[in-house]
A and B are shown apart, each in its own frame.
Chain A
Amino acid sequence: MNMSGLSGSDDLNGMYEDIILDHYRNPRNTSSLSKPDLELDVNNPFCGDELKIQLNIKDDTITGVSVSGQGCAISQSSGSLLAERIQDSSTDTVIHVIEKVRKMMKDEPISDDDLDLIGDIEALQGVKKFPVRIKCALLGWSALEDLIKKP
């Protein structure tokens, strides 16, 4: 089969990076929590992406996180990356991470320290070239922000 059309596309490979596809095929932290302290279902009505986020928080630290749902590779892998990143982080750190992820997706300059902070999530950068998909990448992050920032 002639795959040159796709495997030769830098943009596509940039968006569907190996890390993204790995998280899409094998999402982390999908088992639901037995007693979540916080829980939120979000969806993007335009494409049908759905995510459920559950958190356990003790002394301002994320002690448990579950992200599950159905949808496109970007929304689901982003959710999985999110879960992996925030597990055992303080809520202050999480708020920082959310801010940096948003910054990155808006194509604002971010420092090396910021990149260290977000880790593998940097792989979502490639989505910037597909403006209609940025919403997919941020679906879980917006939900997380709503959950954490709630009084």
Chain B
Amino acid sequence: MQFDVEEIRKDFPILNRKVNGKDLVYLDNAATSQKPKEVIDSIRDYYMNHNANVHRGVHLLSVEATDAYENARIQISDLINCPNSNSIIWTRNATESLNLVASSWALDNLTKESNIIITNAEHHSNLVTWQQVSEKTGCDLRYLNISDGFDLSDFENLIDEKTKLVAVTHMSNVLGYVVPIEEIVPLARKYDARVLVDGAQSVPHMPVDVLALDIDFLVFSAHKMLGPTGIGVLYAKLDLLEDMNPYMFGGDMILEVTYEDAKWNRLPYKFEAGTPNISGAISTGVAANYLMKIGMENVWEHENSITKYALEKFRELNNFNVIGDNVTQRRGGVISFTHNKIHPHDIGTILDKQGIAIRTGHHCAMPLIRSYGVVAAARASFYIYNTLQEVDQLVEALQDAEDFMV
């Protein structure tokens, strides 16, 4: 399929709205993406025509709801090339997926003898979670520094026979750097460590193939990939899921209950206690389909060309500094930046007046942001509907902000 950004923009109703009297320039995609009309319509269609609980009734609506819910699981499997849709667990978001792995796998498999390796660029969700596991089990938490990119020998120095888990971001939400998972997995296998990939920033923006990468766990959120909020995914290898205990208890996750005991349901339902986010799952399937129609290679290419263009423009600006500008290869559509004098918060407010939405703050990665000697940064992040012209608007607004404030 030919990638045509103007055609794609027509699918996103929100891009027609004005913000402070200006056309919306939405550059906060790493926080959450906008939604195409067909995703929005699918939520409405579910409640208008098919609403019923899943896996319960014999009536037609329940059958339709169940089919649509399970079909979405298959669409997600297709998106990440997962061989068996029983490996796909619906959660609330990437954060809940991480907590599920921490509770149901890590706490049962790690001891004070073990260690976990994460990077220094993790989102708080893939950092605090393991700090807590470390606190509860006494295991060691080790940090791989990727501020200057991934260095295989650094990783070799950190990993040992006691490493049970390597939990790394696939793409940093601050640096935009894409971690070479294909270099991590072989070494992790050698030491019999499991590999968890935080795909919150990668799955929406590039091809991610769990089979080719041979990873054990993958977590991501729907809302960053054109889907709704409140639903996320855990992918895990089947043998791991089989051995893991349930995360939550209740309806749907049981096979048989007596007053004394209960038997767990088969996968994936063992991990989906209670009535799930049915419309959320269905519309996430629609979002995955939308992305697959465009082609993840095309998504990546488009964002790459915008990011390259934006980085060139940023280098021409005085007083603006891109965080992690030293790494230029394997870079996704995220540009975090600071100004020598103007605080990100002021930049954010001034840009908002121009209709330009960016993120300001610590981006849920406080230790990483602080390691660059700042307490906050501004961030522009791109997606399929962003254009080079919007980058020009951003850069012009930044220059205006400087003239206004300094």
Contact = CB atoms under 8 A, between A and B. Distances in A.
A36 interface: no
A72 B343 contact: yes
Contacts of A73: 342-343, 346, 405
Instruction: Assign chain A's interface to a size class.
Output: 20 to 34
Interface string A24-41: 000000000000000000
Given A21-B405, A133-B349, A5 B375 contact: no
Interface stretch (B274-282, B320-328, B354-362): B354-362
Contact of B361 (A1, A47, A50, A133): A47
B313 to A, nearest CB: 15
A79 to B, nearest CB: 13
A3 B345 contact: no
Contacts of A45: 362, 366
Nearest to B369: A48
A46 B404 CA distance: 24
Given A21-B405, A47-B361, A73-B405, A133 B353 contact: no
Given A48-B375, A72-B345, A12 B404 contact: yes
B339 to A, nearest CB: 11
B354 A5 contact: yes
Interface stretch (B43-51, B202-210, B284-292, B395-403): B395-403
Interface in B17-33: 22
A6 B349 contact: no
Do most interface residues of chain B lie in helix, strand or loop, or is the interface mixed? helix
B376 interface: yes
Given A6-B350, A21-B405, A48-B375, A136 B345 contact: yes
A124 interface: no
Contacts of B362: 45-46, 48
B344 interface: yes
B361 A6 contact: no
Nearest to B401: A6
Given A6-B401, A48-B375, A130 B343 contact: no
A30 B395 CA distance: 33
Given A47-B360, A47-B376, A73-B343, A1 B349 contact: no
Interface of B: 22, 342-346, 349-350, 353-354, 360-362, 366, 369, 374-376, 396-397, 399-401, 403-405
17 contacts: A2-B396, A2-B400, A5-B22, A6-B353, A11-B353, A12-B349, A15-B349, A16-B346, A46-B362, A48-B361, A48-B374, A48-B375, A48-B376, A71-B345, A72-B346, A76-B343, A133-B349
For the complex of A and B, list the 4 residue pairs with the smallest distance between their C-beta atoms, beginning with the closest. A48-B375, A48-B376, A72-B345, A72-B343
